Structure 1
Amino acid sequence: MKKISLMVMVALAACSFQACKSNKDSKETADSVNAAKDTANAVNAGMAVAEDDAKFAVNAANGGMAEVALGKLAQGKAVSAKVKEFANMMVMDHSKANDELMALAKTKNITLPDSVGMDEKKEMDELSKKSGKAFDKAYVNAMVDGHKKAVNLFEDGSKNLKDADLKAFADKTLPVIKGHLERINAIHDSMK
């Protein structure tokens, strides 16, 4: 048994090292590590969930971290009081959800990304170059798009997750994300 565990650890280390060399972003790296854990599951060294459930957790964590980072950016750059208020809500609500997801992932041995993915970093870089009303408009558009994707992710998770704890997290978080989407759509409509 020790020999099998050692082989699994060596395989995970090799996957992690390979992920670093291949310029993968942290989201892709987490997916790769989780895939390796999933194949190791037969020897009790893997995750306590199916690989698709782990992918949901990785995508939810990546999206949540992006919402917090973009919210912090908007707290400093937005000019509209409504946009700043929304940004504050993003930081508070998504930080809370991220903390819950991290604690849950730890109990399930799911590796989550340690920073936002490359696409989200690119979006933050683009937004950080804007100021004034142009920033507000771009941020609001990004929030509408991001929350539409998040609603789809969490609706799919609510229907298809196999792990009861992850499903409960998706069920609990989905109404909050839908509320965010309604709020940002109202802000978006008021800017026209």
Structure 2
Amino acid sequence: MKRSMIVLGCILLAGPALAQSVGEKTGINSALGVAPTTVDFVKEVAISDMFEIESSKLAEQKGNAQEKTFAQQMVTDHAQTSNDLKGLVTSGKVKAELPTTIDSSHQSKLDKLKVASGKDFSSDFDSDQVSAHKDAVSLFERYANGGDNADLKDWAGKTLPTLRHHLEMAQELGKAPSVGQSSK
């Protein structure tokens, strides 16, 4: 029992050194509507963008016509948000480190997409996109409303309409016939 308490204590004390707070990592902040810290926000956005770009590149190759059109838009838009975020960090306006690799949960989703094909690919990709964009809208809304960096709050607020549109587009994936049609 003492050993468990010591390990737990060490983990809690190491919290600030970890790349992401427990509240953000577990989804508690989202459930409570609490704004993420600047460090958490930057990390989540960067990883989300990496996932969107990589999964969409797979969809450009393996998806149906609707998914390919959607994927092209995701690659373009998420490359832009990645560049915007990088600019804020490198300018010194935002004090945070940008991750250079995707986290394990997003990597496992990518790995699943890499081996999937046909309807299995479409089902996984479409579901991943809806989930990822719901998470992104929540993350950006919470930071835009309560973040602690004015420049980043402003950027989050300006980016929200695009993310909401992405969510609407993602929710339409799989609803339209895929034979010979592309999305709007």
Q: Find the aligned partners of 2:60 and 2:161 in 1 and give their Cα distance.
A: 24
The Cα of 1:31 is off from its aligned counterpart by 4.3
Q: Find the aligned partners of 2:37 and 2:73 in 1 and give their Cα distance.
A: 29
Q: Find the aligned partners of 1:54 and 1:123 in 2 and give their Cα distance.
A: 24
Paired amino acid for 1:152: S
Q: Find the aligned partners of 1:98 and 1:29 in 2 and give their Cα distance.
A: 22
Partner of 2:58: 73
Which structure 2 segments of 5+ residues have no match? 1-16, 22-35, 178-184
Q: Find the aligned partners of 2:176 and 2:18 in 1 and give their Cα distance.
A: 40
| 2:65 equivalent to 1:103 | no
Q: Find the aligned partners of 2:89 and 2:165 in 1 and give their Cα distance.
A: 25
Moved over 4 A (4+): 28-32
| Cα contact 2:19–2:39 (8 A) shared by 1 | no
Which structure 1 segments of 5+ residues have no match? 1-27, 33-50
Partner of 2:31: none
Q: Find the aligned partners of 2:18 and 2:71 in 1 and give their Cα distance.
A: 28
The Cα of 1:190 is off from its aligned counterpart by 3.1
Partner of 1:179: 165
The Cα of 1:57 is off from its aligned counterpart by 1.0
Aligned length: 146
| 2:136 equivalent to 1:150 | yes
| Cα contact 1:64–1:98 (8 A) shared by 2 | yes
Paired amino acid for 1:105: V
Higher relative contact order (CA 8 A, sep 6+): 2
Aligned-pair Cα RMSD in Å: 2.0
Q: Percent identity?
A: 33
Change (3 A) 1:31 1:112: farther
TM-score normalised by structure 2 residue count: 0.74
Name the one with the larger helix percent: 1
Change (3 A) 1:188 1:159: farther
